[in-house]
Amino acid sequence: MPARWAEMRLEGSGLTCVRGGREVFAGLGFSVAGGEALLVTGRNGAGKSSLLRMIAGLVRIAGGQFAVTGVDAEKTIPEQAHYLGHLDALKPSLTVAENLGFWARYLGGGAPPQTALATVGLAALADLPAAYLSAGQRRRLSIARLLAVQRPIWLLDEPTSALDREAQDALAGLMRQHLSGGGLIVAAAHGPIGLERAKELRVGADA
Amino acid sequence: MALIDLANPTRFLSLARPTLPWLAGLTAAVFAVGLVLTHGAPDDYQQGATVKIMFIHVPSAWLGMFGWTLMSAAALGTLVWRHPLADVAAKAAAPIGAAFTFLCLVTGSLWGRPMWGTYWVWDARLTSVLLLFLMYLGVIALWRTVEDPSRAARAAAILTLVGAINLPIIKWSVDWWNTLHQPASVVKLGGPAIHPTILLPLMVMALAFTLLFLTLHLAAMRNEILRRRVRTLMLMQAQAAPGSGS
Amino acid sequence: MSPLLNPLLALFLRDVRLAIRVGGGGGIGVLFFLIVTVLMPFAIGPDLALLGRIGPAILWLGALLASLLTLDRLFAADHEDGSLDLISMSETPLELAIATKAAAHWLTTGLPLVIATPFLGLFMNLDGTASAAVALTLLAGTPALTFVGLIGAALSVALRRGGLLLAVLVLPLTVPVLIFGVAASNAAIVGPVPFGTPFTILCALTLVSLVVGIFAAAAALRQGME
Amino acid sequence: MNLFSSLGPHAAFIVAAYAVAALTVAGLIGWIWIDHRAQKRRLALLEMGGVTRRSDRAAGRPA
């Protein structure tokens, strides 16, 4: 797999997050290069999601800053990152194909590749309204969004939740493929998510 | 959602398919007779030929009420006996009832224009029909917003029954609010006060309209059953695909 | 299609498609407008002359309430299912995305109100020219209502309260539009002021609210990123 | 056009009323017919895609 992105590095230093007046974490730092994965662990409410959302520009940075090298300079980090949160960003009344098509056009400016749905095993349900999908299938459709638009940074918040064993292995494969393509992953999870050589960043009281 | 057994509606479908063409033919025949009779009806001494509008206005008003009565009966079927066919009957009747109520309003204002000089007058009967029309739109909106058919049916059934209870109250209060319209001349205690030569075409047209309503309702119910079957198949298609377990 | 327009077009088509599939294409807005208009004579009485005089005011109030109350879901729906997060993570500036959503909302809610106006004018005993005047002023005024309501919708998402809060926040801002809208309608029916004067002010108000609404709503959404 | 003249001065309103009636009925019939065709098409599409109802299979019809 030829490296899609040149030598890339994402660093955060002295990061402080305050939400609703409560300091979630302070002075946090990390550094992850292209081809590497960072596993953010910690008990619930320790701020794993907040860190990911902060990288994605969805939460205000109370202190510290991010630095990214080796990527398109004009684009901000959120414009080069995929964020897979607890919410699936799907409209029940739109069909599977319409949902994916919209995100591909909105985030990537073009129609999604035909293979995206097939890779996540939803090709047969393309014309089915998303309302009929199960939680696991909605999750797969969200993951298809990551394949439909090429972005170097993947921010995955408990990506394996609602996925069955077979889908978790498939996701691990996709993540390895993304890393070997030179991309990087920052994932928040409780346990290992099939990524052997992931660096770990503990967040929370005993950080 | 447990896969409700569609056996009963299936039998309904097998019954509906043959009867539909016959019913449609009968409706057309009665309509033909009705139209000939209305054409021959004499002019009213006061309103002249505009009385011919009554041959559409009055039957469609009746159908507006008939539709809501039908939906109320179906609502009982839904709430008391939980019969899936009752849900289908209620949902199919709403748009048709609304259409005839709308027709009653339009013909009413067309009849009123030469008589009262304006298209719309806030008189008691027309206003009650207008409120009935709004209630129809409300029920249809309710049907469209709730996704699951059986939940939607129960919600619509409750709204229909509450509406049925309130219709007389609305009618009485609007009458009190304004009495401009001609008092109910057809259904009078002393029998119809209008001349038999006008009453006969009116009765035939009323029969024709009712048959039309039933034909349309039967066809709409058939569509509704097919729509539910499509929904069930789509659910099964999702469950058959990978990842449906979790 | 230039790279900037493609995403916006996709967003526009998505919102219009959603409005048609879920809301019945602005049907709920028109239904609310119809009910509010029909309710007035029950309070005021069936006196056609009086209704004729206050017809434009009633139609304007009905349209104003209808377009405001349907705005509540403009951002809330996307916020609840996570779409708003992804929309902000795109090269397309948030302001343009908001303008596109507002345009889609106006097309599926504001425009149907304008189209329904002549029919509701009958209930208010308004003749042809009167109904046309009200419809024309609404055509110029409803975009202002949408773009002013936008700010309330964005704020109510950030504050997670929504619903009536939107109306409370935004109603004072719509007063100028209401004044000049009704004034223009009455000018066309009764005079003495020529129709043009209040109408051009109304159009000016719309253009101002267009710009202010978009940037204020974007700021409100960004500020709400807690 | 004796039909028109026989309807007296307000003929236009009478014809309009009958026209609206015809339109409304045609609208209803049209809506029902289009809806019927649409459901039939979607059913065929689904059944072609191999999705069959439990009672179909129970009735021994080919899956």
Asked if C91 reaches chain A (Cβ–Cβ under 8 Å), the answer is yes
Nearest-angstrom CA–CA distance, C214 and A197: 46
Residues of chain D with Cβ-Cβ distance to B217 below 8 Å are: none
Select the residue of B235, B245, B246 nearest A132 (Cβ to Cβ): B235
A135 membership: H or E segment, kind and range: helix A135-148
Closest-CA distance of chain B to residue C224, Å: 29
The set of chains that have 3 or more CB pairs under 8 A with C is A, B
| Cβ atoms within 10 Å, residue A73 | 7
> Around C85, how many Cα atoms within 13 Å sit in the side-chain half-sphere?
23
Average pLDDT, chain B: 84
C83, C94, C100, C222, best to mutate vs chain A, most A CBs in 10 Å: C83
User: Is residue D62 assigned to a domain?
Assistant: no
Closest-CA distance of chain D to residue B6, Å: 8
Whether the per-residue pLDDT at B93 is higher than 90: the answer is yes
How far is C-alpha B245 from the chain's CA centre? 43
Whether the per-residue pLDDT at B163 is higher than 70: the answer is yes
Look at the alpha carbons of C118, C124, C125, C131 in this order and tell me if their dihedral is positive or negative.
Answer: negative
- Which two structure tokens, joined as six digits, stand for B179? 């009495």
Dump pLDDT digits (tens) for A117-155: 888 888 888 889 999 999 999 999 999 999 999 899 999
Find, among B82, B227, B92, the residue nearest to B147 by Cα. B227
In this structure, are strands A199-202 and A63-69 parallel, antiparallel, or unpaired? unpaired
Nearest-angstrom CA–CA distance, A60 and B191: 79
**Residues C123 and B120 sit within 8 Å (Cβ to Cβ):** yes
Nearest-angstrom CA–CA distance, A20 and A55: 18
Asked if A106 reaches chain C (Cβ–Cβ under 8 Å), the answer is yes
DSSP state of A128: S
pLDDT band, residue A192 (cuts 50/70/90): confident
- Which two structure tokens, joined as six digits, stand for A9? 């590095």
Task: Say if domain A3-202 classifies as CATH 3.40.50.300.
Answer: yes
Look at the alpha carbons of C20, C25, C27, C29 in this order and tell me if their dihedral is positive or negative.
Answer: positive
> Around D10, how many Cα atoms within 13 Å sit in the side-chain half-sphere?
21
How far is C-alpha B122 from the chain's CA centre? 23
| Cβ atoms within 10 Å, residue A67 | 11
Find, among A72, A15, A76, the residue nearest to A40 by Cα. A15
DSSP state of A188: E
Nearest-angstrom CA–CA distance, B207 and A60: 70
Closest-CA distance of chain B to residue C196, Å: 29
Q: What is the pLDDT of residue C60?
A: 95
Q: What is the pLDDT of residue B158?
A: 95
Return the residue matching tokens 């070997």: A180
C6, C14, C157, best to mutate vs chain A, most A CBs in 10 Å: C14
Of residues A168 and C165, the one with the higher pLDDT is A168
Dump pLDDT digits (tens) for B143-157: 988 888 888 999 999
- Please compute the mean of the pLDDT values over residues A159-181 and round it to a whole number: 88
Yes or no, beta carbons of C31 and B137 under 8 Å apart: yes
Q: What is the pLDDT of residue B46?
A: 63
pLDDT band, residue A23 (cuts 50/70/90): confident
Whether the per-residue pLDDT at A41 is higher than 60: the answer is yes
With pLDDT > 70 as the criterion, what percentage of chain A qualifies?
Answer: 96
Q: Which domain holds residue C209?
A: 5-224
Q: What is the pLDDT along chain C (226 residues), one digit of tens a residue?
A: 567 788 999 999 999 999 988 867 678 899 999 999 999 888 887 888 888 889 999 999 999 999 888 888 888 889 989 999 999 998 889 999 999 999 999 999 999 999 999 999 988 888 888 899 999 999 999 999 999 999 988 888 877 666 677 888 888 999 999 999 999 998 888 877 888 888 999 999 999 999 999 999 999 988 877 6
In this structure, are strands A63-69 and A22-33 parallel, antiparallel, or unpaired? unpaired
Asked if B222 reaches chain D (Cβ–Cβ under 8 Å), the answer is yes
Yes or no, beta carbons of A85 and C90 under 8 Å apart: no
Yes or no, beta carbons of B244 and A131 under 8 Å apart: no
User: Is residue D46 assigned to a domain?
Assistant: yes
The burial class, CB within 10 Å (0-12 / 13-18 / 19+), for B46 is exposed
pLDDT band, residue A196 (cuts 50/70/90): confident
Is chain B in touch with chain A: ≥3 Cβ pairs within 8 A? Answer: yes
Closest-CA distance of chain B to residue C109, Å: 15
| Cβ atoms within 10 Å, residue B195 | 13
Q: What is the pLDDT of residue B189?
A: 38
Q: Does ipTM come in above 0.90? A: no
Query: What are the Cα distances from residue A40, in Å, to A17, A28, A196, C186?
Result: 15, 12, 14, 65
Asked if B241 reaches chain A (Cβ–Cβ under 8 Å), the answer is yes
Yes or no, beta carbons of B118 and C38 under 8 Å apart: no
- Please compute the mean of the pLDDT values over residues B213-218 and round it to a whole number: 95
pLDDT band, residue B120 (cuts 50/70/90): confident
Residues of chain A with Cβ-Cβ distance to C6 below 8 Å are: 105, 109-110
Question: What angle separates helix C128-158 from helix C196-223, to the nearest 10 degrees?
Answer: 20
Average pLDDT, chain A: 86
**Residues C130 and C109 sit within 8 Å (Cβ to Cβ):** no
- Please compute the mean of the pLDDT values over residues A84-89 and round it to a whole number: 91
Residues of chain B with Cβ-Cβ distance to D54 below 8 Å are: 3
Is chain C in touch with chain B: ≥3 Cβ pairs within 8 A? Answer: yes
> Around B127, how many Cα atoms within 13 Å sit in the side-chain half-sphere?
26
In chain B, whose CA is at the least distance from the CA of D15? B53
Select the residue of C24, C41, C122 nearest B141 (Cβ to Cβ): C24
B241 by DSSP, 3-state: which?
Answer: coil
Find, among C146, C141, C148, C159, the residue nearest to C212 by Cα. C148
Select the residue of B119, B123, B127 nearest C122 (Cβ to Cβ): B119
Q: Find the angle CA(B190)-CA(B191)-CA(B193) to the nearest 5 degrees.
A: 95
Instruction: Indicate the domain borders of chain A.
Output: 3-202
Q: What pTM did the predictor assign?
A: 0.85
Nearest-angstrom CA–CA distance, B112 and B121: 8
Nearest-angstrom CA–CA distance, B240 and B230: 15
Residues of chain A with Cβ-Cβ distance to B234 below 8 Å are: 128-129, 132
Q: What is the pLDDT of residue A99?
A: 94
Residues of chain C with Cβ-Cβ distance to A106 below 8 Å are: 7, 10-11, 86-87, 90, 92
Q: Which of A16-20, A88-92, B121-125 has the lowest mean pLDDT?
A: B121-125
- Which two structure tokens, joined as six digits, stand for B211? 């048959």
A195 by DSSP, 3-state: which?
Answer: coil
- Please compute the mean of the pLDDT values over residues A74-86 and round it to a whole number: 89
Residues of chain D with Cβ-Cβ distance to B240 below 8 Å are: 51
Q: DSSP for chain C, please give it.
A: --TTHHHHHHHHHHHHHHHHHHHTTTHHHHHHHHHHHHHHHHHH-S-HHHHHHHHHHHHHHHHHHHHHHGGGHHHHHHHHTTHHHHHHTSSS-HHHHHHHHHHHHIIIIIHHHHHHHHHHHHHTT--HHHHHHHHHHHHHHHHHHHHHHHHHHHHHHHTT--THHHHHHHHHHHHHHHHHHHHHHHHHHT-SS-THHHHHHHHHHHHHHHHHHHHHHHHHHHHT--
pLDDT band, residue D61 (cuts 50/70/90): very low
Dump pLDDT digits (tens) for B1-46: 344 444 478 888 888 889 999 999 999 999 999 888 888 777 766 6
Q: What is the pLDDT of residue D54?
A: 59
Whether the per-residue pLDDT at B190 is higher than 80: the answer is no
Select the residue of B138, B144, B177 nearest C42 (Cβ to Cβ): B177
Find, among C178, C167, C195, the residue nearest to C57 by Cα. C178
Yes or no, beta carbons of B246 and A124 under 8 Å apart: no
**Residues C30 and C62 sit within 8 Å (Cβ to Cβ):** no
Yes or no, beta carbons of C123 and B134 under 8 Å apart: no
